[in-house]
Structure 1
Amino acid sequence: MAKGYKINWTDAHIAYIRANQYGITRRSLFEKLVNEFDDLDDNVNFNNMKALISRLELSNGRDGRMVSGHTPWNKGKTGYMGANKTSFKKGMIAINKRPIGSERICQSAGYTLVKVSDTGKRWQHKHKLLWERHHGPIPDNHCIRFIDGNRQNIVLSNLICLPRAVHATLNHHLKPNTKDADLNKTIILAECVRQKVRSKQKGCHDG
């Protein structure tokens, strides 16, 4: 994520965080947030969600203190314990390190991710890579949607590039989740037209 990039938190995102953050870990809250909203900014991650919560001055009621009666694993021991025989040593390569080109499924959102690098942003969405390979960079404030709603059906004919405003409307008010992919596409394109009409009308009123 570029330095200075501003996450597009909507009122719905913030309201959901306020309503669901108490009594659970921040990690659990992040997983719930990702599962609830398909229109999250692509740069949203666990750390910038925590930063938002800090700005909102929210407390989840969990202070992290040890429960009474619990015995710590290092009770009675002092000083450096030293490395054990299974400790990772400098220069070693983890046996579970995945090569570039490997794929995995994000358990919290169901998207297929592809490893593109060993440094920086290592994993990227497979469907976005496919789209950009054929159509170029995704425009600002746009996202790629699966026409049939199946995030594992990663073929070009099942992908469509939409303004985020249209994507959000489809998610919350007009879900195109029929078994007919052609009908789904018609619903999606019809909402794109309605969005353009609303935008034109707003421009006329503002003028």
Structure 2
Amino acid sequence: MTELYPNTPMPELMKVIGKSERAIYAKAYLMGLKRSEAYLASEHACRLRRENNPGIGSRFKKGAISWNKGISYTAGGRSGETRFKAGTLNGKAAMLLQPIGTERVTKDGIRQRKIRDDGPPQRRWKSVHMILWEQAHGDVPMGHIVVFKDRNTANIDLLNLELISRAENMRRNTIHRYPQELKNTIRQLGKLKKAISEASNEKQDD
């Protein structure tokens, strides 16, 4: 490679070395080999040739107009019958498109309802229990979520819904590995802390 690559045309290199053009170029690159000035100036350099501006005759001239400018293309045959029409949905897109009001159940068991057709796909659906809560109490504050008191996602009843902070939700989810008696104690302790905090805030307001 070191002796032959600088000046030997590629067809001859392929015969002598027994490798493809791509393999030879890759190996030369790894070895830091380059074509000689004489080779680059020769007819064997083809697109690499530096002199005589090779290929200039076939390049698109600046300001030239393409042959098909202003010509509308009309496909023949039955293409007009089979092409997609504007606004038409086919295949999987048509299957996934559901009208507003359609409900579905996620893999986590949460029932959702489609509320819009526009916007990102993840914002077109909303949890039914969230819709029910907001209808009764207004928007959910930032940093809070609505959960099921009995942890049964199928029991979508306003009396079974509770607004809690995400921090509280995290605490609740971390206690499930404990025995039931300890779970109850931790929950009671959480309620006690919340009551103390609320009483303290009311005192400060006074």
> Which category of TM-score, normalised to the shorter sequence, fits these structures?
0.3 to 0.5
Q: Which has the larger radius of gyration?
A: 2
Q: Which has the higher contact order (CA 8 A, sep 6+)?
A: 1
TM-score of the two chains, using structure 2 as the length reference: 0.44
Q: TM-score, normalised by structure 1?
A: 0.44
